[in-house]
Structure 1
Amino acid sequence: MEYEGYNFPNELRYHVEHCWAKVEGELVVVGLTEFVIVQAGDIVHIKSLEVGDEVEKDKQFASIETGKYVGKLYSPISGVIEGVNEEVLDEPMLIGESPYDKGWIIKVKPNDISEMENLMSVKEIPEYIGKKIAELKEKNLYKEKKKR
């Protein structure tokens, strides 16, 4: 689905802190939404927890740095990290270039897969992102997505 020029793939679930989650076999793949990538700016550095580390839903699993921003990334699901995308750690720009494919950040073996049900579906995106855009515009912080 596209909303306000931003892509939100239908098959993904979305966390309120702008991470997406996708079930792949027994694992859940986690990455950043295109919306937050545009708003944060070009990612120049990312640091993630490591394989074997435990993550908790709504707790920090990584941090990103852009030219003007340093922020925390919060996990959409609890479990054990089974994979870390070393390519994005080496080349953080991949997150912005391919947020829903090559730009994934971690793969988690979930403690409870039913946590996925508490994440937003694509149907909830227009209302949620609409509010976020309005908040950013009110503070003069909203960045329009550049046309490609």
Structure 2
Amino acid sequence: MDDSVDNGLGSVLTRADVVLGCSADSMDEAIEYSGSLLVNRGSVTPPYVEGMKNRERVVSTYLGNGVALPHGVNESKEFIRSTGIVVAQYPEGVDWGPGTAYLVVGLAAVGDDHVRVLSQLAEILQDEELCEQLAQTGDADFVYDQLSAAPSDDD
């Protein structure tokens, strides 16, 4: 039995990293808030947040189903201390260019961790009905449980 193996996102997301009922007047404001959550949890240093905004100027991080996944550009990797994700829920939505984001999942990843984290998030967040529930729930535990659950497939 190897306790160090965690196939879910529970290793990079804590309940404290899920914030419900947020509001923002702009995408930049939402990115700054997600970035501040990553800074507060110790995953990144403050300059990483500018890298998150720069990434958005290059290519949208809107995934669809009301979800955006802001993260830094390659040039901001030096500001990452540890892999982590944070979730900010915007029940009223934030204009995210190609769509409206109700869940903003800030990401900082060391090395190749971003591939694992992104693929797990994409698998969970492709469920449109679940995304609608996550966007409107008042239960942070529900959001945490859905996003931190281990993948259901057998590897």
Question: For this structure pair, what is the TM-score category when the shorter chain's length is used for normalisation?
Answer: 0.3 to 0.5
With a CA cutoff of 8 Å and minimum separation of 6, indicate the structure with the bigger relative contact order: 2
- Greater strand share, 1 or 2? 1
- Greater helix share, 1 or 2? 2
TM-score (norm 1): 0.33
TM-score (norm 2): 0.32
